Amino acid sequence: MNTLMHTDLNLPGLQSVYRGKVREVYRLENDLLVMVASDRLSAFDVVMPKGIPFKGQILNQIATKMMAATEDLVPNWLIAVPDANVSVGKACEPFKVEMVIRGYLSGHAAREYKSGKRILCGVPMPEGMRENDAFPKPIITPATKAEKGEHDEDISRAEILERGIVSEADYLVLEDYTRKLFERGTALAKKQGLILVDTKYEFGKTSDGEIVLIDEIHTPDSSRYFYEAGYEERQAKGEPQKQLSKEFVRQWLISNDFQGKEGQSVPEMSDAYIISVSDRYIELFENITGENFEKADTETLHDRIEGNILSFLDTL
């Protein structure tokens, strides 16, 4: 199982390299960013020891397809996709918040609700909801963008403005873009027989002051999907929803006594389990996009990626 766990690319005009939990970002001269989606798996803000075959390719290809499908609504950073694992775009100053939007009481929101909380990020949640019920209308529950090694944290709109993390004028744009993207994402999912349950968007500002969508969009790492068929029946019976998201990994970790808390150890992932996770990601790709997944060559992953990036840069 040849997976991409890290890169060390030799690119012309390189100014800096940032290595996130999953992506590695190379900043070049002329305000160019080269973003490489690795096969690393992150859950509860912890990177797992083993990579997931084709995960980076899947994330990159879903994100770039979704950016193309939403660019009429919201401008984005993307310029080109020179490799299955790579996006190239405009360098931006990222906003230090993630715009999380939730259409249903699931995942983190459901866990908070079960603990007795009825306000999440300053937004009230109605009484009497069951897990996976739809909210009366989608709610925006932002999170701070954590520094390396730290956890993202819930934050309210009021606190974001009070602390000056984002100006009020910019935050209104972020909220507007978030709702527009979620509405479009919901419609795209419905065409594939899916429900877009919740997701997060990240934004940045270009050197000329334009606010643009960055990072990923509507991928299994940033979003949760349910199958639309049978949703109502499962809710009526109080059964778990059939879903496509990274939540199945989180639930496996929880069942093995790991939630990223101090003193907990990451459980061992067998090769069979790793393959099953890869298969689930491929299933998700095909269900979200309606296309067959074509596996890129992984014999010489690093050389392939570097060669394709260099070939693209030669065209500029």
| pTM score, whole prediction | 0.88
CA angle 255, 257, 263 (to 5 degrees): 165
Q: What is the pLDDT of residue 48?
A: 92
pLDDT tens, per residue, the chain with 316 residues: 789 999 999 999 999 999 988 999 999 999 999 999 999 998 888 889 999 999 999 999 999 999 999 999 999 999 999 999 999 999 999 999 999 999 999 999 999 999 999 999 999 999 999 999 999 999 999 999 766 555 679 999 999 999 999 999 999 999 999 999 999 999 999 999 999 999 999 999 999 999 999 989 999 888 999 999 999 999 999 999 988 777 788 889 999 999 989 899 999 999 999 999 999 889 889 999 999 999 999 999 999 999 999 999 999 9
Q: What beta strand segments (E) does 206-311 contain?
A: 211-214, 223-227, 243-245
Structure tokens belonging to residue 286: 């095909």
Q: What is the pLDDT of residue 284?
A: 87
At residue 95, φ and ψ (nearest 5 deg) are: -70, 145
In the chain, the domains with their CATH numbers are 14-92+270-313 (3.30.200.20), 94-245 (3.30.470.20)
| DSSP labels, 34-62 | EEEE-S--EETTEE-SS--TTHHHHHHHH
CA angle 41, 249, 219 (to 5 degrees): 60
Q: What is the pLDDT of residue 245?
A: 72
d(CA 76, CA 71): 7
At residue 176, φ and ψ (nearest 5 deg) are: -60, -45
Q: What is the pLDDT of residue 221?
A: 81
Q: What is the pLDDT of residue 150?
A: 56
